[in-house]
Amino acid sequence: MSLIAAMKQPLQPIAKLSSTTDISLHRDRLFGPLNTINQRSLITVEALAGFGKTTLIEQWLQQHDSAEQTIIRLKLMPWLNSESELTEFIAECLSVNPAHYKHLPALIKAAHQQASDPLWVIDEMGALPALLQSKLVETIIGLEGKMLVINRSAVSFKGLSRLTAHNQVARINAVELAFTRQETEDYLQQRQINLTRKQLNQLEDAYRGWPIAIKLFADHYLPLNKTQRSNAIQDYPTLLTHYIIDEYLQLSDDHLLDQAAIGLLTDKQDSLEPIGAVYRARNGTEQFHPAIIHAANEHLAATDSKRLQSIKNNAVKQYLKKESYIDALALLCSNQQWKKAASIINDIGFQFIQAGNGNALYKFIQRFPDNFVGSNPYLLYFSALCQFELHRDDLQTPTALLEKAETLLLQTSDSEDEALLKEIYLLKARLVRLLSGEQAADNITYFAVKKAATSKFTLGAATDLGRAMESYCRGDLAVTETALEESIRHGKQENFQLAVVLGISKLAYVLLRTGRSTEALNRRQAVMEWVLNKETQIFPKAYLQNGALVPLFIESNDIASAKAGLEILQAFSRDDDADPQQQLLICVFEALIYRAEARYDEFDRALEQASGLVIEETDNWNWYFTSIAALRAETAIEQGNSLSAAYWAEKQAASLCQRTDFRSEAQRLILARIWVEQEYFSKAEPILLSITAAAIKRGDVQHEVWAYLISAIASYKQDQLKASKQLFDLAINKACLANFQQLFLSQGAILLAVFDNWQQAQLKKTGTVALQQFAKHIYSALERKYPSERQQTVTALLDPLSERELEVLNLIAQGLRNKAIAELLGLAPATIKAHLYNSYSKLDVGSRTEAIAKARSLRLID
């Protein structure tokens, strides 16, 4: 078969070896670096592949009558790279020190004494520095030995021509093993590959006519598109590596590969040479095949575990010295050295994630035992952070991990952990924003920790405030209360007034929400005495006494005190250059005060100012627009502007109905109130039932009362007067204990009718003195808010109600139906119906419920 004909044959990997004879044909040691063999053939990579100029070495040996001569093969692999930590590690495992090359002359002399007139075959001599090449040749020639130099790159040293002429040195070099330029062109034409002259020059420079490389290039080149082909010539290292490793090693029998690897370790002479055990990686460094690494570890683990451990420890030190953290972690994890690995993660975890290596870090943490991770707050935090960044669809898992990390840190008093604890709270803030269903919810955890950092809080007060606010965002009022008490206690111990003032202000509000208004005021007064007794105060006395109580004053409808407190807040914010959040709260408080006074134009202006602050602020404040819009919609109902409220409800209904979280409850209650106004009772009922149950479970009296009030209005509008009485009775009894008044005053004029329906039958029966006073106060406030000039009087009716129409309305208000009224008055049911429709027309209403409410508001009926 001609050379060109041979090149047309498909490239076949080495056949699987199955007999001792086959093994002996390929018996050759790859490492040593010196090996003495007594065999006729030296098998090259080309010979194993069955392609190319493969017989030259054997022919040369026959021509020079060297068949029976002892052959010492010195294979100088270019993997001896002192910069490769992996190479150093495996070289240690294999007892091959890369630095041994400088001792080659001594090794050659020792080997020469054991052989009779040997033939030295030097493979890859170009891997040595020029000076060492000359020394090696001089040593062998000085021993009167003969050399065969096999090399694919030019080898030139002093006296080479003279030695060749005296038959002391023979060379098989690139020219003899390689294709000529014409052979390369002929082969490529056979494969229908037409390269330009420039590309052929590049190919020759890259592959030096190596037959296998050219064959692999052709196989690789043909399927590529035009753009990919322009870079194909540069793919040489990858092509060769893939062929030798993927094709040869993977197609060899596993037991033969194992035999070869163990042979390398144990100096057995019958091991198979694992071609490609060392190969050049894409980054240009030389590495061992994983099978060899595995065999080296297995061998040392079984024979010398102490030495293996020493090698690994040294390798880790080298990795860390060169900041190769991934390699260090991989080695430590494979050796189950969890403490050292965790220490590295603690030190470089943030740096790793910032560099975009979060996925790699997470994989390492997953290799740790669960009980080890569970006892290490740093690993818990980094695991939570990586999961949050990589798997945004699961937020519960990282939240649970952060809770555990926080608990572990709070059990220690190590100041070095303060930075980690703050990072935990910042991440928890981000999770709460997402878990609450809002893209950027106002999470007070962030601001508490931020203030802690700028105010030089010690760990205790900052920790408790952050934990309290995070719990509040979840609606866990019991945990919030406990954490706020702890923040006050720690703040006193640490003598930080800001922690104490923030803690008691939030605690008073939580106590109010849970129906303990008196306790809230008393607790606050006791704590503020501690602050006021300090020689130096960071807050003005007026701020401490009244400014911080504005939310409580508004809810209890003490508008005079609320306005005085607001003036103090405004003055304090000007003097203290308040941050945007404080300014926003002041605008909202101002709007609520205007609403309580029915000054709706000023209310709108205050909310416009609040919206302007949100627009200016870029720190994830967009969600405030939703809250401000909900407050506008609620106020529209209060004003009787159901059209404006309905517009908001239509836009928000779809998203709000899918939510069940604490943070959206206020908006869902407003939506239910609007639907009740529109008489969409079936839509409002599920929301009200759900929120009532949730509020009762967490002890949230404020939302419980709010839900009862809306439910009472709904029942009243459906003529379910008994149910309305019962629901209103629940609401007003609980509200009395907490002094909730604004909840009643913001429900609109309809509440007067609901109130009348309740107080006539209920108050006289079961009302305590406190309840009677509270009810009287609420009713008077409702009458002031919806005065007679905003209502039609009897004389204002264009067509006053007749005596019979008033009589029918009174009986309907008592709960009688048309048929019963007809029997009682001795009239036909159709006549009663006619009187009722006449009343609708005169009162300008459309239902029995509205007719009763309107008649009562005009004092036409009791």
pLDDT one-digit tens code per residue, 521-538: 888 888 878 877 776 656
Asked whether the predicted pLDDT for residue 403 surpasses 70, the reply is yes
pLDDT one-digit tens code per residue, 42-63: 334 444 444 555 444 555 555 5
Going by C-alpha positions, the residue among 398, 376, 402 that lies closest to residue 387 is 398
Asked whether the predicted pLDDT for residue 517 surpasses 60, the reply is yes
Any domain includes 483: no
Q: Which residue has the tokens 């022919």?
A: 59
Distances (CA, A) of 348 to 71, 357, 370, 821: 53, 11, 21, 84
Going by C-alpha positions, the residue among 321, 319, 365 that lies closest to residue 342 is 365
Any domain includes 766: yes
For residues 137 and 172, the model is more confident at 137
State which amino acid sits at residue 841.
Answer: S
Contact 44, 73 (CB under 8 A): no
Contact 648, 633 (CB under 8 A): yes
What confidence tier does 708 reach under pLDDT thresholds 50, 70, 90? very high
Contacts with 138 (C-beta within 8 Å, 6 or more apart), sequence order: none
679 and 551 assigned to the same domain: no
744 and 601 assigned to the same domain: no
Distances (CA, A) of 42 to 66, 210, 270, 273, 538: 12, 18, 15, 12, 90
Any domain includes 514: no
The predicted model gives 777-799 an average pLDDT of: 64
Any domain includes 584: yes
32 and 95 assigned to the same domain: yes
Token pair belonging to 388: 């949050």
574 and 701 assigned to the same domain: no
d(CA 382, CA 424): 10
Indicate the residue among 155, 180, 205 that finishes a domain.
Answer: 180
Any domain includes 772: yes
Asked whether the predicted pLDDT for residue 673 surpasses 50, the reply is yes
The C-alpha angle with vertex 450 and arms to 449 and 452, in degrees rounded to 5, equals 60
Any domain includes 55: yes
Token pair belonging to 47: 């010979």
For residues 168 and 46, the model is more confident at 168
Residue 143 lies in domain: 18-180
SS3 state at 615? helix
Q: Which residue has the tokens 């409002």?
A: 684
pLDDT one-digit tens code per residue, 631-649: 888 888 887 777 778 878 8
Give me the number of domains the chain comprises.
Answer: 4
Asked whether the predicted pLDDT for residue 366 surpasses 80, the reply is yes
651 and 610 assigned to the same domain: no
Going by C-alpha positions, the residue among 480, 489, 492, 514 that lies closest to residue 705 is 514
Any domain includes 533: no
d(CA 379, CA 369): 11
Contact 842, 797 (CB under 8 A): yes
Q: Provide the pLDDT for residue 710.
A: 92
614 and 668 assigned to the same domain: no
What confidence tier does 149 reach under pLDDT thresholds 50, 70, 90? confident
The predicted model gives 539-559 an average pLDDT of: 71
Q: Provide the pLDDT for residue 841.
A: 79
Contact 383, 364 (CB under 8 A): no
Contacts with 585 (C-beta within 8 Å, 6 or more apart), sequence order: none
SS3 state at 505? helix
**Average confidence score pLDDT of the chain:** 70
Going by C-alpha positions, the residue among 401, 403, 421, 404 that lies closest to residue 413 is 421
For residues 603 and 280, the model is more confident at 603
pLDDT one-digit tens code per residue, 718-759: 888 888 888 998 999 888 888 888 888 888 888 888 888 887
> Computed from CA positions of residues 82, 85, 89, 90, in that sequence, does the dihedral angle turn out positive or negative?
negative
d(CA 233, CA 318): 36
The predicted model gives 798-805 an average pLDDT of: 76
Q: Which of 92-106, 663-677, 747-761 has the highest mean pLDDT?
A: 663-677
Q: Provide the pLDDT for residue 523.
A: 84
d(CA 485, CA 590): 29
Asked whether the predicted pLDDT for residue 462 surpasses 60, the reply is yes
d(CA 408, CA 406): 5
737 and 830 assigned to the same domain: no
pLDDT one-digit tens code per residue, 228-259: 887 777 665 455 444 443 443 343 444 444 44
What confidence tier does 32 reach under pLDDT thresholds 50, 70, 90? very low
Q: Provide the pLDDT for residue 713.
A: 92
Indicate the residue among 158, 180, 202 that finishes a domain.
Answer: 180
> Computed from CA positions of residues 560, 563, 569, 572, in that sequence, does the dihedral angle turn out positive or negative?
negative
What confidence tier does 711 reach under pLDDT thresholds 50, 70, 90? very high
Ordered DSSP codes for 784-840 = HHS-GGGS--TTT-SSPPPHHHHHHHHHHHTT--HHHHHHHHT--HHHHHHHHHHHH
- How many C-alpha atoms does 40 have within 13 Å on its Cβ side? 9
Contact 89, 95 (CB under 8 A): no
586 and 688 assigned to the same domain: no
For residues 207 and 492, the model is more confident at 492
The CATH number of whichever domain residue 823 belongs to comes to 1.10.10.10
Asked whether the predicted pLDDT for residue 274 surpasses 60, the reply is no
Q: Provide the pLDDT for residue 573.
A: 66
Contact 319, 350 (CB under 8 A): no
825 and 726 assigned to the same domain: no
d(CA 313, CA 341): 12
Cross-strand partners of 172: 150
Q: Provide the pLDDT for residue 159.
A: 65
Any domain includes 234: no
825 and 676 assigned to the same domain: no
How many DSSP H helices and E strands does the chain contain? 49, 7
Indicate the residue among 180, 203, 234 that finishes a domain.
Answer: 180
Token pair belonging to 533: 């007794």
d(CA 184, CA 204): 9
User: Which letter does DSSP use for residue 10 in this model?
Assistant: P
Max CA pair span of the chain:
147
Contacts with 792 (C-beta within 8 Å, 6 or more apart), sequence order: 854, 858
Asked whether the predicted pLDDT for residue 798 surpasses 80, the reply is no
State which amino acid sits at residue 663.
Answer: R
Going by C-alpha positions, the residue among 710, 675, 673, 713 that lies closest to residue 692 is 710
Asked whether the predicted pLDDT for residue 136 surpasses 60, the reply is yes
pLDDT one-digit tens code per residue, 552-609: 788 888 888 888 878 877 776 665 455 666 777 788 888 888 888 888 888 888 878 7
d(CA 459, CA 821): 73
Strands 169-172 and 146-150: parallel
723 and 754 assigned to the same domain: yes
Picking from 16-30, 223-237, 367-381, which range would have the lowest pLDDT averaged per residue?
16-30
Going by C-alpha positions, the residue among 818, 815, 838 that lies closest to residue 723 is 815
Asked whether the predicted pLDDT for residue 375 surpasses 60, the reply is yes
Token pair belonging to 140: 């062998």
Distances (CA, A) of 721 to 539, 682, 708, 724, 757: 51, 18, 14, 5, 7
For residues 459 and 456, the model is more confident at 459
What confidence tier does 97 reach under pLDDT thresholds 50, 70, 90? very low
For residues 353 and 250, the model is more confident at 353
Task: Give Cα 415 to chain centroid, integer Å.
Answer: 27
Token pair belonging to 78: 């270019």
For residues 294 and 732, the model is more confident at 732
d(CA 390, CA 65): 68
Picking from 66-75, 187-196, 721-730, which range would have the lowest pLDDT averaged per residue?
66-75
Cross-strand partners of 121: 73, 148
652 and 769 assigned to the same domain: yes
